[in-house]
């Protein structure tokens, strides 16, 4: 039986009449609607393009806007010149690419954590990048891609160089070459395919380095390989926990070198870590497919100086500067730096003895199948949304 609740007050409720005058009522009858004359869309998808570096630069040049997002780039409270802002932007662009939300709402450390989580949480990431599985989902995979206007339709690509590096080391060199057409759509990745392939190959079978003998014949000079390649900040702590350690600078535009190899030995040529290792050999590697290269000696000297402080008591036996190029350029590529310049502008500022530290400047060739602009993207194995 239904009873009145304790919150019922008769004065607050009107009496409902039992008899109603029908002439005062209006009909709510439902009639068939006419067929629509135009197409009705149940859902519309707006494809917003990802931000380019130029887009970010325009925003960061606005003083009022920059002050609003400044804490996501730096802890300093001092005013920053444009060149300082631009450097902060470029460093962060390496990680977040065209994702404006990560750029302006997260610190670079927070963005790295979120992107790494997205990579780990996405099953069969290779299928998404190859285009065999769609990326329109609510899952974490959406965070790993960017959109840029191509010829006609928008094309998707990996979000940033940080994401591309992580995936390259996870999936290997064949993965890099298979997605080269897609990566070339991203302005932040175009031109870096060879470097991505280099790091992928380094951890998947090793990089074979070729040279040319006196008769003009190509021969295998040596093989570089590593189980993993940790990233490091040249201004921070350098992770030296192995006797043979490959490292990659975090900054995408670190002046002059893309990778560093540190080798620790004792006097009997044994590889050791700790106080038993007395000798150090350093190899700087620049990976390039360009005809010209940069050599900013101050960055080499700065890292060597930091290593000498970390490895006090060790004897720096050798320092090498290597240029790794596609093998088709091996015979024609000419470094614009020589042994004397390295001694004068790198060893001396770093506090190393020129007489006791040997220096080498070499060019090595890589068997790398390049994706060229003349190649028809439709004929590549992987082309997003359009595959034969």
| SS3 (DSSP) at 85 | helix
Q: What pLDDT does residue 132 have? A: 46
Nearest one of 155, 164, 161, 157 to 119, comparing CA atoms: 164
Q: Are 250 and 235 in contact (CB under 8 A)?
A: no
Give the total residue count for the chain: 388
E strands, 20-106, in order: none
CA distance 388 to 377: 10
Q: Are 135 and 199 in contact (CB under 8 A)?
A: no
Q: What pLDDT does residue 12 have? A: 67
CA distance 222 to 207: 9
Q: What pLDDT does residue 187 have? A: 53
CA dihedral 267, 271, 276, 279 (to 10 degrees): 50
E strands, the chain, in order: 145-149, 154-158, 207-212, 218-224, 231-232, 244-249, 259-265, 279-287, 315-326, 358-366
Q: What pLDDT does residue 387 have? A: 27
Q: Provide CB contacts within 8 A for 69, sequence distance 6+.
A: 104
The phi and psi torsions of 218 (rounded to 5 degrees) equal: -85, 135
Q: How far apart are the first and last CA of the chain?
A: 72
CA distance 178 to 125: 14
Per-residue pLDDT of the chain (388 residues; tens, 9 = 90+): 556 666 666 666 677 777 767 667 666 666 666 766 666 556 665 667 889 899 999 999 999 999 999 999 999 999 999 999 998 998 899 889 999 999 999 999 899 899 988 888 777 766 666 554 544 444 556 778 887 776 666 677 788 888 888 888 888 887 787 777 656 555 555 557 888 889 999 999 999 999 999 888 999 999 999 988 888 888 778 888 888 999 998 765 566 799 999 998 876 666 555 555 588 999 999 998 887 777 888 989 999 999 988 888 888 999 999 999 999 999 999 888 999 999 999 999 999 989 999 999 999 999 887 654 444 443 333 333 232 2
Note the pLDDT tens digit of each residue in 5-58: 666 666 666 777 777 676 676 666 666 667 666 665 566 656 678 898 999 999
Q: Provide CB contacts within 8 A for 87, sequence distance 6+.
A: none
Give the global pTM. 0.71
Q: What pLDDT does residue 384 have? A: 32
Q: Provide CB contacts within 8 A for 263, sequence distance 6+.
A: 243, 244, 245, 271, 280, 281, 282, 283
Q: What pLDDT does residue 22 have? A: 67
Q: Which two tokens stand for residue 48?
A: 């917003």
Q: Which residues are bridge partners to 211 per DSSP? A: 219
CA distance 161 to 141: 16
Q: What pLDDT does residue 5 have? A: 64
Helix axes 161-171, 193-202, angle to 10 degrees: 40
């Amino acid at each position: 039986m239904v009873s009145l609740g304790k919150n019922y007050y008769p004065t607050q409720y009107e009496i409902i009449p039992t008899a109603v005058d029908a002439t005062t009522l209006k009909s709510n009858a439902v009639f068939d609607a006419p067929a629509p004359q135009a197409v009705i869309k149940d859902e519309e998808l707006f494809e917003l393009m990802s931000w380019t570096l130029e887009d970010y630069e325009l925003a960061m040049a606005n003083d009022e806007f920059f002050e609003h997002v400044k804490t996501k780039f730096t802890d300093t409270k001092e005013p920053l010149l444009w060149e300082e802002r631009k450097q902060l932007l470029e460093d962060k662009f390496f990680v977040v690419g065209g994702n404006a939300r990560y750029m302006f709402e997260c610190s670079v450390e927070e963005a790295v954590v979120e992107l790494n989580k997205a990579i780990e949480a996405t099953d069969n990431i290779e299928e998404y990048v190859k285009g065999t599985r769609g990326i329109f989902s609510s899952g974490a995979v959406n965070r790993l891609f960017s959109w840029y206007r191509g010829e006609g339709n928008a094309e998707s690509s990996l979000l940033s160089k940080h994401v591309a590096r992580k995936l390259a080391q996870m999936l290997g060199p064949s993965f890099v070459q298979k997605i080269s057409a897609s990566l070339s759509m991203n302005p932040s990745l175009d031109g870096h395919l060879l470097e991505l392939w280099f790091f992928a190959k380094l951890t998947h079978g090793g990089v074979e380095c070729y040279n040319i003998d006196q008769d003009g014949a190509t021969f295998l000079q040596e093989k570089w390989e590593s189980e993993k390649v940790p990233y490091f900040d040249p201004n921070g702590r350098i992770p030296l926990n192995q006797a043979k350690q490959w490292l990659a600078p975090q900054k995408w535009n670190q002046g002059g070198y893309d990778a560093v190899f540190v080798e620790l030995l004792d006097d009997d040529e044994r590889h050791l870590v700790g106080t038993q290792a007395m000798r150090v050999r350093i190899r700087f590697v620049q990976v390039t497919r360009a005809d010209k290269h940069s050599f900013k000696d101050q960055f080499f000297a700065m890292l060597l100086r930091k290593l000498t402080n970390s490895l006090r008591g060790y004897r720096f036996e050798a320092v090498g500067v290597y240029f790794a190029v596609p093998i088709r350029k091996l015979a024609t590529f000419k470094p614009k730096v020589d042994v004397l310049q390295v001694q004068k502008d790198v060893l001396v500022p770093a506090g190393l003895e020129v007489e006791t530290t040997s220096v080498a400047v070499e060019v090595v060739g890589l068997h790398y199948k390049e994706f060229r602009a003349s190649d028809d993207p439709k004929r590549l194995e992987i082309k997003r949304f359009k595959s034969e």
